[in-house]
Each structure stands twice: as structure tokens, then as C-alpha cells.
Amino acid sequence: MSPEQRREMIIRTALPLVAEHGAGVTTAQIARTAGIGEATIFRAFADKDELLDACVAEAVRSDHVLAEIAEIPLDQPLAARLAEASAAIEAYLARMGMVIGALHATGRVGGGRGAHPPGERDNSMTRTREALAELFEPERDRLRLPPDQVAGMFMGMAFTRARPPAGPDASAPTLEDTLDVFLHGALKEGAPE
């Protein structure tokens, strides 16, 4: 196994442990779960902080969600495409939130060294919007706005859906209801404006 492959394996093993234990995870726990010696971790990473930073960087990487969106078949109905995209975005945001939230809850503040290299967040958002625009492309002639603008609006809705509503009586609409309003508007069909 190459040094880079070993680093990737250690990060993959560490991510769920970091999500569960935050900064309290030990390198011994990670090594035991990975089936390697603890010294192997320190040959791949300078220290535990560097490993935690690598976990944060992996959690915020958008490559996985972009690949999932790219695999959505364009021949299925638009609502089905958007449901798959929304599920992929929500899963990505949940994974990212679990890792960063657990680290923050256990006293590690900030994203770490290199969690978001300069410009990477903007680049990631642009690439996500472009991937979502591809989902709207088959309906281009039926859209009120260009696909990239509709994709930006959908992305905002998907990110908002990923946050639970506030308040004791607040409840989130179902994904189906959200997509129905997004695609057909807030007014009932035939309702006076």
C-alpha cells in the first residue's frame, strides 16, 4: 500500500470515529479499528491534529456528492432526479455536520489547517450548481429561468431542507411536498392569486 493509500485508509477509518467521539477519539482507537499499529498513524500523519484536519478536509470535500449527482439518470422525471439530488446533498451536509459538530462539541474550534483551501468553498458551490443545472437541462424549454439560475435556487432549498426547523412545534415538510412547491409553486392549482 502506498503512503497516500495508507493515509486515505486511515482517514476513512477515522471519520466515523471522529463523528462519534470528536476530538476525544484516540489514535489507539483509530489504529485498532483500522487493524494497524498506532505507530503507522504517526508515519502517515505528523500528529493527531494533522489527522483531525485531514478528516475535516475529507468531510467537506464535495467530490462524492458531485459524483452522486452526475450518476442520476436524466431520462427519469425531473421530480425523481431532484429527489435523488436532494438526498445526496442532505447526506453530504449531514456527514460534514457530524464531523465538524463533534469536533466543535469536544472543544476543537475552527475548521483546522486546510479544511477549506482559499477559494475551494466557492469552487465547490459553483461545481455543485453546475452539476444540478445538468439535471434541469432536459427541461430547458419549459423552465422560467435558465437552468443555472434554477439550479442555484434548488441548491438553496436543498441546503435549507438539511437544517431542522426551529421551535417545539416546527415540522419540516416532506421532500415530496417541498419538491411539489418548488416545481409547481405555492398556490393550489386554480386558486385565485
Report the alpha-carbon distance of residue 111 to residue 126 in Å, rounded: 21
Domain boundary (14, 43, 60) is at: 60
Residue type, 129: R
pTM attached to this predicted model: 0.80
Could you tell me if 47 and 74 lie in one domain?
no
Domain presence at residue 77: yes
pLDDT in tens, the chain (193 residues): 898 999 999 999 999 999 999 999 999 999 999 999 999 999 999 999 999 999 999 998 899 999 999 999 999 999 999 999 999 999 999 999 899 999 999 888 665 554 555 566 778 889 999 999 999 999 999 999 999 999 999 999 998 887 767 777 778 788 999 999 999 988 887 767 6
Domain boundary (10, 43, 60) is at: 60
Could you tell me if 126 and 50 lie in one domain?
no
Domain presence at residue 191: no
CATH number, position 15:
1.10.10.60
Per-residue pLDDT, 131: 96
Domain that holds residue 23: 1-60
Report the alpha-carbon distance of residue 14 to residue 138 in Å, rounded: 40
Domain boundary (60, 82, 104) is at: 60
CATH number, position 70:
1.10.357
Could you tell me if 82 and 26 lie in one domain?
no
Cα–Cα distances in angstroms (integers) from residue 125 to residues 58, 83, 92, 131, in the given order:
16, 19, 13, 10
52: three-class secondary structure by DSSP: helix
